[in-house]
Amino acid sequence: MSLSNIGTNGRIEFSGSYVNATASQAATAVSTLGSGYSLPQVGGITNFAGSVACGAGTSCVVSSTLGTSYSSWQVSGRYATDFKVSGVTITPSLAVFGGKSRNSQTLSETNLVFGGTASVRYDADTKLDWTDWGARAGLSGSVPVTDWLTFVAGGNAGLAMRRVSLTGSDSVNVFVGGVPFFAPTFSATTSSATTTAFVANAEASVNIKLAPSWALRAFGGLNYDNKVPGVSAPAVVLPFGFGGASTPAGVKYQAETSYYAGGGLTVRF
């Protein structure tokens, strides 16, 4: 094994990405006869208007819709250089990056109680924003299988300083015979948090050279983040919550792994 051309092709690269996605979900369920539950609001309150009981001989039909809108952008600058080891090109790199993400959700839930003669309507709106700044170290290897086929595999890992903010509001309305029975109950919450997240990526690709200036690329990989922001549900302190205290909704974190794949055509001028 020989080592040659140490540190050739040193370069600085800039890149950016933008993601925008929306989704909608709907579900309907029937509660067990004789059961009951309390509906705490995001601001940390729960009261009679947010508590539902399915009396004997009646049923509670719950229908809900959830809308989600997610957007994220990120920019990065990377320094990379190449090392050749017996025909294999090894590329270490160091990158700095920054970006901003937002996850907005709206929930609308209707509970038909006492055989449908009464209903409880719950509406909620939350917005979760977070900003990242950090650095990653990476390493990849490129192996020419033939004159026209090249296999590339590599990855990177680093830390991101993450600032998160949450705003949320909701309301509860009770109707009997289609007429408001209680005054609407409103609540709101705001929360913020700062953390350091571990982020990593692994990717493999195949490059097919069609002509001196034309090439096809197929790739697949995964992203890992150990502290993806989310919204923690408000917690009821008293079991059935008639005027009882509760914990407001706040910021929580959870680890997530996402997968991706794609392809493209490269043309050099």
Number of domains in the chain: 1
pLDDT of residue 149: 95
Distance CA 187, CA 87 (A): 65
Nearest by Cα to 26 from 69, 62, 70, 71? 62
Helix (H, G, I), strand (E, B) or coil at 41: coil
Q: How far apart are CA 86 and CA 4, in angstroms?
A: 8
- The residues that bridge with 189 in the sheet, in sequence order, are 168
- For the record, the structure tokens of 169 come out as 């509001």
Per-residue pLDDT of the chain (269 residues; tens, 9 = 90+): 444 445 678 999 999 999 999 999 999 988 765 556 667 789 887 765 556 666 555 667 889 999 999 999 999 999 999 999 888 999 999 999 999 999 999 999 988 876 667 888 899 999 999 999 999 999 999 999 999 999 999 999 999 999 999 999 999 888 888 788 878 889 999 999 999 999 999 999 999 999 888 999 999 999 999 999 999 988 766 554 455 557 899 999 999 999 999 999 988 87
pLDDT number for residue 4: 46
Q: What tokens were used for 59? A: 């049923």
Name the one residue in this structure whose structure tokens are 């006492």: 114
Residue 53: closest CA among 252, 209, 248, 241 = 241
Phi-psi category of residue 86: left, alpha or beta, with phi > 0 → left and psi -120 to 50 → alpha:
left
Both tokens of 98, joined, read 């920054």
Q: 54: which DSSP letter?
A: -
CB 169 within 8 A of CB 124: yes
Of 149, 269, 159, the C-alpha closest to 216 is 149
pLDDT number for residue 249: 93
Domain residue limits at 143: 3-267
What are the C-alpha distances in Å from 121 to residues 39, 46, 92, 126?
A: 11, 14, 56, 17
